[in-house]
Copies of this chain bind each other. A is one copy, B any other.
C-alpha cells in the first residue's frame, strides 16, 4: 500500500503510462440502482484508467458474468459473498460486525489485508462508516474519522464533517481540518489549501461555544486558516476546506441538495409552460447542460471517510454509473497521491 512517488494525475482513457497500478474494492450490492449502476460504473472506470484493477464483491450470479465479460477488460477479480446489509438495516454497526460475509464487509477486509488500496460502496452510509472504522480501522492518532464531501461551486470545496460525528469537540474539528486538507491536496491538486471554520458570523469571537473554542485552536494550530465563513460563502469559493461538526455539515449538505433540486424542478416547470417557452428552453439547452454538470456532485466522486488506514468511499445511494466511476477514479487518484500517508504524517505532526 506504500507508494514512493507523489504522482498527480487523472490518467486519460486507455493510457495511464507511468501511473501506478491501483486496486479498488467495489461493493456490487450497495445503492438504489445496484447492481447495474455499480457494474456500469466499474466498466466506465476501467475504460478510463488502464492501471486500475477492481476487486468486485457480491453474489456469484451478479459478479461472475461481469468479471468474465469484455467490460471487465481482464482487470476485475470476483470476490463472491453470501450476505448482504440492507439499506435500511436497523443497526448497521452490529450488522457489519456479525455479517462477516456481507459484500461491504468483504470489500473493506480486502483493504485491511492490503489486497486493495480502497473500497467503495453505495450502500447505507452508516454501514460504510462502520465498515471503514471497524474493519479497516483508524490511523494511529486519529481520534475520529471524518466524512468529507467535495461540493461544487465557484471552485470545489471540501466540507468536513458531513455526518460521521454529530457531536464534536474543538480538538476533533482541528483534526478534521488536517485530514480534509490532505484530501484537497491529494484529489483537487491544491498545494496549500485555505481552511475556514463554518460559523454564524465572519468576525472573531462569534458563534456557538464549540465554534468559539474551535476558532481559537485553529488560529493557533492550523496553517493557512482564514477564519470564519458563513453559509452563504460555501459555494462562493472563499475557502478550499470548510470545517464544521457532523450535525451542521450534514444539514448543510442536504439543504444544498434540496435547494438545487427544488430550483431545477421549478426551472423545468417554467420551461414547459407553453410552446414558446419550450422552444426557448431548447435554445438554452446547451448552457443548462453545462450548468447542471458544473453543479453535479457526481463529478467529485464519493464521500471519503478520512482517517482510516486505506480509502473508504461512501457513494450516494442514488449514484449513477458516472458517479460510481468518478468515485473509483478519484479514489485511485487519492491512492496515487498518497492520501493515507499524508493524513498519517499530518496527524503525527499535530501531536
- Docked pose: A232 CA to B318 CA in angstroms: 14
- Flag if B283 contacts A209 (CB, 8 Å): no
Query: Do the beta carbons of B284 and A258 come within 8 Å of each other?
Result: no
Question: Among the listed B166, B254, B267, B276, which residue makes an inter-chain contact with A231, where contact means beta carbons less than 8 Å apart?
Answer: B254
Given known pairs A256-B259, A276-B283, A280-B280, the reply for A246 and B288 (CB within 8 Å) is no
Residue of B nearest to A232 (CB): B258
Interface residues on chain A, size class: 35 or more
Residues in chain B near residue A259, CB distance under 8 A = 234-235, 255-256, 259-260, 263
Q: Please give, as numbers and ranges, the residues of chain B lying within 8 Å of A253 by CB-CB distance.
A: 231
Contact of A251 among B167, B200, B266, B291 (CB under 8 A): B200
* B258–A231 CB distance below 8 A: yes
- Contact residues in B for A252 (Cβ distance below 8 Å): 231, 251-252, 255
Cross-chain contact B262 with A235 (CB below 8 angstroms): yes
> For chain A residues 80-119, which have a beta carbon within 8 Å of chain B?
none
Q: CB distance B231 to A257 under 8 Å?
A: yes
Q: Is A70 an interface residue (CB 8 A)?
A: no
Copies of this chain, complex-wide, total: 2
With A207-B247, A256-B255 as known contacts, state yes or no: A291 contacts B267, CB within 8 Å. Answer: yes
> Please, how many angstroms separate the alpha-carbon atoms of A34 and B209 in the complex?
34
Q: Which residues of B contact A288 (CB under 8 A)?
A: 270
A251 touches B231 (CB 8 A): yes
In this assembly, does A65 line the interface, its C-beta being within 8 Å of a C-beta of chain B?
no
Residues from chain B with a CB closer than 8 A to the CB of A198 are 251
For A245, list chain B residues within 8 Å (CB): 208
A252, B234: Cα distance in complex, Å: 11
Q: Within 8 Å of chain B (Cβ to Cβ): is A68?
A: no
**A19 CB–B CB distance under 8 Å:** no
Cα-based distance from A292 to B261 in the complex (angstroms) = 16
CA separation between A262 and B250, bound complex, in Å? 20
Closest to A252 in B: B255
Give chain B residues whose Cβ lies under 8 Å from the Cβ of A256: 231, 255, 259
Chain B residues, CB < 8 A from A284: 270-271, 277, 280-281, 284
Q: Knowing A247-B211, A284-B270, A284-B271 are in contact, say whether A260-B263 is a contact too (CB < 8 A).
A: yes
CB contact under 8 A between A166 and B211, given known A252-B251, A284-B277: yes
Assuming the A-B contacts A255-B231, A256-B259, are A166 and B200 also in contact, with contact meaning beta carbons closer than 8 angstroms in the complex?
Answer: yes
Complex Cα distance, B269 from A2, in Å, reads 46
Which among A207, A258, A259 has the greatest number of chain B C-beta atoms within 10 A? A259
Nearest opposing residue in chain B for A273, CB measure: B287
Cβ of A13 under 8 Å from chain B: no
Given pairs A208-B247, A259-B260, A279-B280, 11 additional interface contacts (CB within 8 A) = A166-B211, A167-B208, A167-B209, A200-B246, A207-B247, A232-B254, A234-B255, A236-B262, A252-B252, A263-B263, A267-B267
What are some 7 contacts across the A-B interface (CB < 8 A)? A208-B245, A231-B252, A231-B253, A232-B255, A248-B248, A267-B267, A270-B288
